[in-house]
Amino acid sequence: MDIEIRPEDQAFADEVREWLDSHLTGEFAAHRGVGGPDDSAAWDVRLRWEKELSAGGWLGLTWPPEYGGRGATLAQAIIFEYLYARAQAPYRVGVQGQDLFGPTLLMFGTPEQKARFLPKILAAEEFWGQGFSEPDAGSDLASVRTRATLDGGEWVLDGQKIWMTFGTSADWMYVLCRTDPGSSRHHGLSLLLVPARQPGVQIRPITNLLGEGEFCEVFFTGARTRADLVLGAPGDGWKVAMAALGVERGTLLMPQQLGFEREAEHVLELARGRSLSGGPSLGGPALGGLSHRLVDAWIAVRLMRVTALRTIGELVAGRAPGAQAATSKLYASIQHQRLLELATELLAEDMTVTGAGYALESLPRAFLLSRAETIYGGSSQIQRNIIGERVLGLPREPR
Amino acid sequence: MNFLFTDEQLELRAAVRGFLAGKSAEPAVRRLMATEAGYDPAVWQQLSDQLGLPGLAVPEEYEGAGFGYLELGVVFEEMGRALLCAPYLATVALAAEALLRCADEAARKDLLPGLATGRTIGTLALLEQAGRWDEAGVRTRAHRSGANGSGWVLDGSKRYVLDGHIADLIMVGARTPAGVALFAVDGSAPGLTRTAVPTLDQTRKQAHLEFAGTPARLIGDEADGWRVIRRVLDTAAILQAAEQAGGAARAAEMAAGYAGMRVQFGRPIGSFQAVKHMCADMLTEAEAARSAAYYGLWALAGDTGDVPLAASLAKVYCSSAFCRIAGDALQVHGGIGFTWEHPVHLYLKRAKGSEAMFGTPAYHRDLLAARLGLEA
């Protein structure tokens, strides 16, 4: 049960495999599987690896060659990401620019903006941060208050953003601002492209529950950016931001899946050890009540693979993705948490201690990290609203 | 593997859905579920003659259409949505599958064309008093008979036999001195007593069968029966999972449809998050159930070694999901959902009626735990 590599893509797949074989060596090979969407571990090594990928032309596969892309098909991009994840190459540090901002810029940017920014993303020279959420605008994004006004040839920004992933590494930010002072809700917003390294921008890491600082709060006090650095028309910020949040990330389905499967196997190994040794913490010689729950967790991971392959199949065939594409984030995030909750029960006493400096073993670390999955990218509650309203056609609640 | 139905398979889905919209609408379901036979012979003949559904996955040499399990899965999903009252599961997933999987070409030539064309209704009689779906549960005895010992007779009783009261051809698992063997018994055979049993899910009928010196035809080798039956149970579990996924999807749709129009507190109840989120969860689970069923169908179609695993997985997930979704759908309907008049209870009963069939979810979780090395 694997992704399909069509005959016309076979040569491409071989090229990917060969390149990974010959380049994922040395310190890069020593950092297999390191990093994640909100995990900055081994940043410097991963940055060097990203430059290696860039030199090999493996970033921005589907982007037009004029902007440094390879002009590859979606099917090829899916193959690349799959083989990349199977080889456990380090998680890319530039995903914010490559997978979120870049595609949005391709959709809404002017030729000048694209020429200015896209090649730098693919050269792993400029990194991007997403400035959407605010302390009082989380799930209710339309209540953003950060404002920007035109002063001569420049926008001047004042306000605060929060939860910017890898904010301290950002060179640029795309910031949702209220540019029409009298406006409310999703009217009068604009998406501005703002240089991060300037006096009016202050970036502070927020320590997360692992004791690490991957995401940041950002303060704008008279920060400035050029008047033409607005993505889409002024006032269209809501539309552009929604498109950014809705960027089709079918290429990331299988990499995420492979990660889940490795963890599931790890959890099963742990359970097998318990069932043989009869660890006293489980109250007897058997796994007791855990075995059926383990089966259910294993089933869920298997179903995520089928669901991912269904969506990939539809995307590659050029069909509109079915309802499973809309429900899969909700399903996967919850089931992933259940799997790791089981892991913590199996770890028993081992779960209750850490290494020096709050150093966490892989499963406890994954357990804590997984708590973010039902919050970021639209919380489970927002996901259910979206499914209810956009897929099932249920009426919105009064707002 | 991309789990993508072809354009032809999507056309088949549309054709079957259209047919069932006309022939298995709610009034028809209610009329048939109140009858003892439990199906409409005229509709059975139409779905056989016009659409060729009983023989869809039977090779052409046995008068079938020569398609495969993916097409069959599409049909089961649609029949599950429409709660079709017909002996399709018994005839196709049990009897025809047993003949396809046995090593008895003569029996296949004699018996399969009747099933494939819909002229013969078939079933499999396996379960006994103990309610066990494993080999040890088979206690019915087979004895050699006749002057030269060339024939066989059966003694024992079978319970919960799907459409056993109307089947023309009953495949029976029975114990010979060599092991569990598969037999074919004519529905009108002497020494066979059939008692229709009232069912919780009235859209699907059962019978208890008593065999007393009942003449039977040995199918294949005396010791080869359980191999065939095990495969039949896996196949039936997967095809029924597709049916369950279809029923679950339809129940979830009914709930969302009702939530969108039922007004309380001055607005549709589906605008309240408490209800909206239930509907979203139902759809999420229904889509996962589709994935579980498709996993099974593709395993069958590719005849991979994965079939037993995929069957248990599909069985566990789709049985449980259909029960939960049907229960939640009833909840969304409120008081009207508790009435006989409203159809949502028919889905809850179909879910419950199919949950234990071909092995309970707990039994299949045990099988999967053993496969995953999680035994104590």
Domain that holds residue A67: 7-93
Residues A327, B268: C-beta atoms closer than 8 Å = no
Q: Which of A70-79, A87-96, A375-384, B367-376 has the lowest mean pLDDT?
A: B367-376
Residues A227 and A260 in one domain: no
Question: Tens digit of pLDDT for each residue in B142-166?
Answer: 999 987 888 999 999 999 999 999 9
Confidence band for A275, pLDDT divided at 50, 70 and 90: low
The rounded distance, in Å, linking the Cα atoms of A337 and A363 is: 11
Report the sign of the C-alpha dihedral through residues A243, A248, A252, A256, in that order. positive
CATH number at residue A54: 1.10.540
B132: nearest Cα among B305, B362, B353 = B362
| Separation of CA A285 from chain center | 41
Tokens of A220: 């704008």
pLDDT given at position B28: 98
CA distance B124 to chain A (A): 29
What counts of helices (H) and strands (E) characterise chain A?
Answer: 13, 8
Q: Which residues of A touch B269 (CB under 8 A)?
A: none
Instruction: Kindly determine whether residue A313 and residue B2, on different chains, have CB atoms separated by under 8 Å.
Output: yes
Residue A248: predicted pLDDT: 76
Write the pLDDT tens digit of every residue in A276-289.
544 444 433 457 77
pLDDT value at residue B149: 82
The pLDDT of B117-141, averaged and rounded, is 95
Residues A281 and A369 in one domain: yes
The answer, yes or no, to whether residue B376 has pLDDT greater than 60, is no
Looking at the partner chain, which of B273, B287, B298 has a beta carbon nearest the beta carbon of A397? B273
CB contact under 8 A, B271 and A395: yes
Claim to verify: residue A262 and residue A369 sit in the same structural domain: yes
Q: Report ipTM for this prediction.
A: 0.94
The whole-number pLDDT of residue A282 equals 45
pLDDT tens-digit series, residues B260-279:
999 999 999 999 999 999 99
Which pLDDT value is given to residue A286? 52
Report the topology of domain B227-371: Butyryl-CoA Dehydrogenase, subunit A; domain 3 (1.20.140)
Which chain B residues have any C-beta within 8 angstroms of a chain A C-beta? Answer: 1-4, 256, 259-260, 267-268, 270-273, 276-277, 279-281, 283-284, 287-288, 290-292, 294-295, 298, 306, 313, 316-317, 362, 365, 368-369, 372-376
Is A4–B1 a contact, with Cβ atoms under 8 angstroms apart?
yes
The answer to whether B14 and B74 are in contact (CB under 8 A) is no
Selecting from A307, A314, A323 the residue whose C-beta is nearest the C-beta of B283 gives: A323
Task: Assess if residue A182 is contained within a domain.
Answer: yes
- Shortest CB distance from A4 goes to which of B2, B277, B372? B2
For residue A399, name the pLDDT band (cuts at 50, 70, 90): low
Chain A residue whose CA is closest to B286 = A324
Shared domain check, A146 and A84: no
Taking contacts as CB-CB distances below 8 angstroms, the residues of chain A near B306 are 1
Residue A58 lies in a domain: yes
CB contact under 8 A, B1 and A2: yes
Can you give the pLDDT at residue B145? 92
Dump pLDDT digits (tens) for A200-247. Answer: 999 999 999 999 888 899 999 999 999 999 999 999 999 999 999 888
Last residue of a domain, one of A233, A268, A289: A233
The mean predicted confidence, pLDDT, of chain A is 93
The residue in chain A having the minimum alpha-carbon distance to the alpha carbon of residue B275 is A388
| Residue-level pLDDT at A25 | 96
Please check whether residues A214 and A330 belong to one and the same domain.
no
Q: Taking CB atoms and an 8 Å cutoff, what residues of chain A touch B267? A: 395, 398
Q: Match 């492979």 to its residue by tokens.
A: A258
Q: Which residue of A has its CA nearest to B371?
A: A295
Cβ contact A395–B362 (<8 Å):
no
With contact defined as beta carbons under 8 Å apart, do A194 and A175 qualify?
Answer: yes
A341-363 burial by CB neighbour count: b if 16+ within 10 A, else e? ebbbbbbeeebeeeeeeeebeeb
A80 lies in the same domain as A143: no
Give domain status of residue A88, yes or no.
Answer: yes
* A-chain residues near B260 (CB < 8 A): 392-395
Rounded CA-CA distance A55/B207 in Å is 71
Residue at A41 is within a domain:
yes
What lies within 8 Å, CB to CB, of A289 at 6+ separation is: none
Contact A239, A232 (CB under 8 A): yes
A186 within some domain: yes
Written as one string, the DSSP assignment of A278-338 is T-GGGTSSS-TTHHHHHHHHHHHHHHHHHHHHHHHHHHHHTPPP-HHHHHHHHHHHHHHHH
Distance, in Å, from the CA atom of B231 to the CA atom of B307, rounded to the nearest integer, reads 8
The tokens for A90 are 């380090």
d(CA A78, CA B229): 41
A248 is catalytic: yes
Inter-chain touch A296–B279, beta carbons under 8 Å: no
Domain-terminating residue out of A39, A70, A93: A93
Q: Tens digit of pLDDT for each residue in A306-325?
A: 999 999 999 999 999 999 99
Nearest to A158 by CA among A138, A181, A126, A140: A181
Are residue A133 and residue A60 in the same domain, yes or no? no
Residues A201 and A285 in one domain: no
In this predicted structure, what is the pLDDT of residue A367? 96
Cβ burial of B88 (10 Å; 0-12, 13-18, 19+) is buried
Contacts of A387 in chain B (CB under 8 A): 279-280, 283-284
Q: What are phi and psi of A215, to 5 degrees?
A: -110, 160
Of B270, B280, B306, the CB nearest to A395: B270
- pLDDT at residue A283, as a whole number: 39
Query: B7-117 has which fold?
Result: Butyryl-Coa Dehydrogenase, subunit A; domain 1 (1.10.540)
pLDDT at residue A128, as a whole number: 97
Domain boundaries, chain B: 7-117, 122-224, 227-371
Q: Could you give the 3-state DSSP secondary structure of residue B274?
A: helix
> To the nearest whole number, what is the mean pLDDT of chain B?
97
Other C-beta atoms lying within 10 Å of the C-beta of residue A292: 17
- Max Cα–Cα distance, chain B, nearest Å: 82
User: In chain B, what is the straight-line distance between the N-terminal and C-terminal CA atoms, in Å?
Assistant: 34
* Domains B122-224 and B227-371 alike in fold: no
CA distances, B338 to each of B125, B159, B348 (Å):
34, 30, 11
Q: Are residues A254 and A229 in the same domain?
A: no
DSSP A10-39: HHHHHHHHHHHHHHS-HHHHHTTT--BTTB
Q: Identify which of B4, B276, B287 has the shortest CB distance to residue A384.
A: B276
**A-B interface: how many C-beta pairs under 8 angstroms?**
153
Question: What proportion of chain B, given as a percentage, has pLDDT over 70?
Answer: 100
Average pLDDT over residues B36-57: 97
Looking at the domain assignment, is residue A155 inside a domain?
yes
Contacts B259 to A, Cβ<8 Å = 394
Task: Please report whether residue A171 resides in a domain.
Answer: yes
User: A4, A248, A265, A389: which is the annotated catalytic residue?
Assistant: A248
Token reading at B351 = 């879910």
Lowest mean pLDDT among A14-28, A35-49, A129-143: A35-49
CA distance B79 to chain A (A): 20
Contact in structure between B170 and B161 (CB atoms under 8 Å): yes
CATH number of the domain encompassing residue A212: 2.40.110.10
The C-alpha of B325 sits at a distance from chain A's nearest C-alpha, in angstroms, of: 15
In chain A, how many domains are there? 3
- Residue of A74, A291, A295, A296 to mutate, interface with B, max B Cβ within 10 Å: A295
Query: What pLDDT does residue B304 have?
Result: 85
CA atoms within 13 A on the CB side of B88: 29
Structure tokens given for A122: 């693919």
Q: What is the C-alpha to C-alpha distance for residues A319 and A317, in angstroms, rounded to an integer?
A: 6
> Do A229 and A355 have their domain in common?
no
Q: Cβ contacts of residue A204 below 8 Å, gap of 6+?
A: A216, A217, A218, A219
Residue from B33, B116, B66, B288 nearest A328 by CA = B288
Residue of A nearest to B278 (CA): A384
User: Distance (Å, rounded) from C-alpha A122 to C-alpha B70?
Assistant: 43
8 Å CB contact between A235 and A189: yes
pLDDT, residue A284, reads 38
A224 and A267, same structural domain? no
What lies within 8 Å, CB to CB, of B175 at 6+ separation is B138, B139, B140, B141, B142, B181
Same structural domain, A26 and A81? yes
What percent of chain B has a predicted confidence (pLDDT) above 90?
95
Amino acid identity of residue B289, one-letter, is A
Q: How far is CA A353 from CA A257, A349, A361, in A?
A: 29, 7, 10
Q: Is the pLDDT of residue A197 over 60?
A: yes
Question: Does A74 reside within a domain?
Answer: yes
Q: What's the pLDDT at A276?
A: 52
Q: What pLDDT is recorded for position A285? A: 40
Question: Would you tell me which CATH number, out of the four given (3.40.50.2300, 3.30.56.10, 2.40.30.10, 2.40.110.10), belongs to the domain B122-224?
Answer: 2.40.110.10
Q: What is the pTM of this model?
A: 0.94
